[in-house]
Structure 1
Amino acid sequence: MDATSEVYSGSRKLHEEETAEIPETAHQISTDSWFQVGFVLTTGINSAYVLGYSGNVMIPLGWIGGVIGLILATAISLYANALIAKLHEYGGVRHIRYRDLAGFIYGKKAYSLTWGLQYVNLFMINTGFIILAGQALKAAYVLFKDDHAMKLPHFIAISGVVCAIFAIGIPHLSALRIWLGFSTVFSLIYIVIAFVLSLQDGLEAPARSYDIPGTKISRIFTTIGAAASLVFAFNTGMLPEIQATVRKPVVENMMKALYFQFTAGVVPLYAVCFVGYWAYGNKTSSYLLNNVNGPIWVKAMANIAAFLQTVIALHVCLFLFFLSTPDFLLLENLISCSYCCL
């Protein structure tokens, strides 16, 4: 009897999933494996932002606060993302956007508020990616020609153009595919180089201070900033949009992707963050590659890899940033019609 009930329950669940209503969208729905989605999520958390956590998280919080904060942020983020993932199919509808889910449960006001907050969040993330790419490009440039002829704004502008060109060439999130492989390679390059050179510097350097710098007032603000970085580190702010691309069964496959992200995916982040802080103490830069010592060509390769990976990582957010705008579907249809008329 129990076995029969389980079979019936499983069949009913499968039927509900297959008949779930899907809103009109520019997404590629149910096309990606959980492994590809896991790599999309891992690409986000192991972007070049990881090179800043030693300085932006560990210095304001210290060893105890930083380690506990990162572990808690990991656990809480996994729990929160799992809850959102399990609500993807709710009430016979697949909620492929944060605002759709909020509106379905809480009403129109929650829909509008969530849309606005997500729009601001993704805008700030994308802006940060472009600035970070410019910083990496400048760091590579000054290794060979430190003449101050080109300033950071010049490199940010170049990065913005490169990101725009790349975004035009990739029509939707599912089309990243092979680029996720490149992203992984680029991430490994700058993470391994940063880790190895920091470890080498740490073994050779004299004793360094791990005291939290600043006045009481400044520590309050830096602690708030560090807490914000912890929240950002493991959360994309667009989980339903990413989950929309995963193949059925969407909830089970998304959970696999999340487990991949929060196990294998967080190891590089932890490694770079802790070793960087251990090696340089409270003198750690907000961009770790500015601290490391080593062959110029090795540091140049790390910076260029950070730049290229940032371009790919930004595209994940950039596509979903435009997707979160109400007129994106209309815009895509107009573009499609234009191509048809050519």
Structure 2
Amino acid sequence: MTSKEAWKHREGEEEEEEEEVELRATAPPLHGTATKEGAQGRGTWKHAAFHVATTIATPAAYAPLPSALASLGWPLGVFSLVSGTLATWYSSLLIASLWGWNGEKQTTYRHLANSLFGPGGYWSITIFQQIASVGNNIAIQIAAGSSLKAIYKHYYPNGSLTLQEFIIFFGAFELVLSQLPDIHSLRWVNAICTFSTIGFAGTTIGVTIYNGKRTDRKAMNHKLVGSSSSKIFKSFNALGTIAFSFGDAMLPEIQSTVKDPAKCNMYKGISAAYGIIVLSYWSLAFSGYWAFGSTVQPYILSSLTIPRWTIVMANIFAVIQISGCFQIYCRPSYAYFEGRLLSENANHRTRVSVFVRRLGLTTSYMSLITLIAAAMPFFGDFVAICGAIGFTPLDFVFPSLAFLRSGRTLKNRKLRVAMQILNISISVWFSVVALLGCIGAIRFIILDIKTYKFFHDM
């Protein structure tokens, strides 16, 4: 029986077998992305929703959306935001549907790519996932440091602490959280982070509208500004920013923490998370662009001025949410390197040696991320390039290609053809978006490096 035939056969019997069959886990243990029980997860669809919402709907993801709309203008900006939402929701469901591909539970993006495309797919996805994870954590660490500094400046206007020091403080806190064993152990942390996402969105949207009503609406400019070349590169950069805002390079890893029926629970979790995403993303993007027009800052909180206490509250929500998101995205790196550091002489390891090795690994990772974030705190640029190079291939292109490769088909011929056309269109168009976003982001990073010195206190 071929792999495609095995897949179709398994699909027909899945409803009866899913609660009875247990397969051996392929993900790395502990700091890795699987649970301690392997691929047999313990989480519910609500836990999946917490994880998905935490990884996607971060303040660092949707705080730049008003600026992205300002770089694209109303028509193109709204179209890009809405199409990005629908495309990633659809793509996420495709990835969830491939959970049992080839008769095995695919517990990581890397293993799913390997089973479909072979070693080339494995290493390609590994590279994209590492770029997405590391780039995302650099961007959100800058955002967390900026929020901590804003809180500090509210209480100590003449304080001497710099952005770099707050980035280091946040990095030290994340190092402590990094000692938690796996994603499932973060479920209650991410539950708090999900509610913080709602709190951040509600507070920021309310304060944004409040500020917008107190500005001179007649003088507000919503037109694209700058030279022709500047407008073009800004629009490229904005496409990368929107791609970043929907980034989730962890879906199979999250699904491995969910109990059977894993597909059904993951479908529910994804859809619930996207309900939160639609409400928060669209509301903040539209209200932020309406309130500040072309002058809106890359990090929306920097555009807010009154009332001060609500801005402080929004920054507190942002820091709480980012702390959980950071942990989700560092897990693929931990899993990848742990699989090599801890696999040798497994029978002769002691608990102390395992702890020391893991502590060394997590400390090295956190030191690297903190150093880059402190040296080049260009939040908007990292958001755009991470979205273009890391998240677009993983969240837009790969799911469509993977589903086509799996050979799964619908019985209705018209629906089957329509789905194939849709998948091909998504993969081609977002490949173009990745290229354009990368061009725009690289240009702005070069300009910022020329303008600011390293370790500049933004």
- Asked if these proteins are the same fold (TM beyond 0.5), I'd say yes
Residue aligned with 1:161, SS: helix
Where do residues 218-297 of structure 1 align in structure 2 (5 Å cutoff)? Answer: 218-297=230-309
Alignment of 1:327 onto 2:329:
no
Alignment of 1:198 onto 2:208:
yes
Does the aligned pair in 2 maintain the 1:22–1:93 contact within 8 Å? no
Aligned to 1:338: 351
Residues 210/335 of structure 1: CA separation in 2 closer, same or farther (3 Å cut): farther
Residues 12/197 of structure 1: CA separation in 2 closer, same or farther (3 Å cut): closer
* Bigger mean CA deviation after superposition, 216-225 or 236-245: 216-225
Once the 2 structures are TM-superposed, how far is the Cα of residue 336 of structure 1 from its aligned partner? 8.1
Does the aligned pair in 2 maintain the 1:187–1:305 contact within 8 Å? yes
Normalised TM-score (structure 1): 0.89
Aligned to 1:14: 16
RCO greater where, 1 or 2, for CA within 8 Å and sep 6 or more?
1
Residues 193/24 of structure 1: CA separation in 2 closer, same or farther (3 Å cut): closer
Aligned to 1:173: 183
Identity %: 24
Residues 328/202 of structure 1: CA separation in 2 closer, same or farther (3 Å cut): farther
Output one character per residue of 1:296-334: Cα deviation in whole Å (capped at 9) or x when no partner: 332222212211221111111122331233426649x79
Does the aligned pair in 1 maintain the 2:225–2:231 contact within 8 Å? yes
Residue aligned with 1:267, SS: helix
Structure 2: distance between partners of 1:264 and 1:189: 11
Residues 12/64 of structure 1: CA separation in 2 closer, same or farther (3 Å cut): closer
Residues 216/157 of structure 1: CA separation in 2 closer, same or farther (3 Å cut): same
Aligned to 2:455: none
Alignment of 1:183 onto 2:185:
no
Give the counterpart of 1:69 among 80, 104, 107: 80
Structure 2: distance between partners of 1:12 and 1:25: 26
Once the 2 structures are TM-superposed, how far is the Cα of residue 9 of structure 1 from its aligned partner? 7.8
Once the 2 structures are TM-superposed, how far is the Cα of residue 150 of structure 1 from its aligned partner? 2.3
Structure 2: distance between partners of 1:234 and 1:196: 23
Once the 2 structures are TM-superposed, how far is the Cα of residue 277 of structure 1 from its aligned partner? 1.1
Structure 1: distance between partners of 2:230 and 2:124: 31
Count matched residues: 332
Output one character per residue of 1:13-53: Cα deviation in whole Å (capped at 9) or x when no partner: 43267154532532113111011111111122221122221
Residue aligned with 2:161, SS: coil
Output one character per residue of 1:211-249: Cα deviation in whole Å (capped at 9) or x when no partner: 112222222222122111222222311211111111111
Output one character per residue of 1:114-169: Cα deviation in whole Å (capped at 9) or x when no partner: 1122112111111112111101111112223333622221211111111112222x
Residues 15/280 of structure 1: CA separation in 2 closer, same or farther (3 Å cut): same
Residues 10/334 of structure 1: CA separation in 2 closer, same or farther (3 Å cut): same
Structure 2: distance between partners of 1:76 and 1:196: 28
Once the 2 structures are TM-superposed, how far is the Cα of residue 203 of structure 1 from its aligned partner? 1.8
Alignment of 1:116 onto 2:127:
yes
Q: 1:43 is matched by which residue type in structure 2?
A: T
Alignment of 1:315 onto 2:318:
no
Does the aligned pair in 1 maintain the 2:289–2:296 contact within 8 Å? yes
Structure 1: distance between partners of 2:14 and 2:311: 56
State the Cα RMSD in Å.
2.5
* Bigger mean CA deviation after superposition, 258-267 or 190-199: 258-267
Residues 148/10 of structure 1: CA separation in 2 closer, same or farther (3 Å cut): same
Aligned to 1:3: none
Residues 300/243 of structure 1: CA separation in 2 closer, same or farther (3 Å cut): same
Aligned to 2:367: none
Unaligned runs of 5+ in 2: 1-9, 356-458
* Bigger mean CA deviation after superposition, 139-148 or 111-120: 139-148
Give the counterpart of 2:95 among 72, 80, 84: 84
Does the aligned pair in 2 maintain the 1:119–1:324 contact within 8 Å? no
Residues 311/224 of structure 1: CA separation in 2 closer, same or farther (3 Å cut): same
Residues 87/172 of structure 1: CA separation in 2 closer, same or farther (3 Å cut): same
Give the counterpart of 1:23 among 14, 17, 26: 26
Residues 77/9 of structure 1: CA separation in 2 closer, same or farther (3 Å cut): closer
Which aligned runs of 4 or more in structure 1 are off by greater than 4 angstroms?
Answer: 8-13, 333-336, 339-342
Structure 1: distance between partners of 2:349 and 2:210: 53
Residues 156/45 of structure 1: CA separation in 2 closer, same or farther (3 Å cut): same
Once the 2 structures are TM-superposed, how far is the Cα of residue 264 of structure 1 from its aligned partner? 3.3
Structure 1: distance between partners of 2:118 and 2:17: 27
Structure 2: distance between partners of 1:237 and 1:63: 29
Structure 1: distance between partners of 2:147 and 2:288: 17
Residue aligned with 1:324, SS: helix
* Bigger mean CA deviation after superposition, 281-290 or 145-154: 145-154
Structure 2: distance between partners of 1:297 and 1:334: 56
Once the 2 structures are TM-superposed, how far is the Cα of residue 177 of structure 1 from its aligned partner? 2.5
* Bigger mean CA deviation after superposition, 14-23 or 76-85: 14-23
Aligned to 1:160: 171
Does the aligned pair in 1 maintain the 2:198–2:276 contact within 8 Å? no
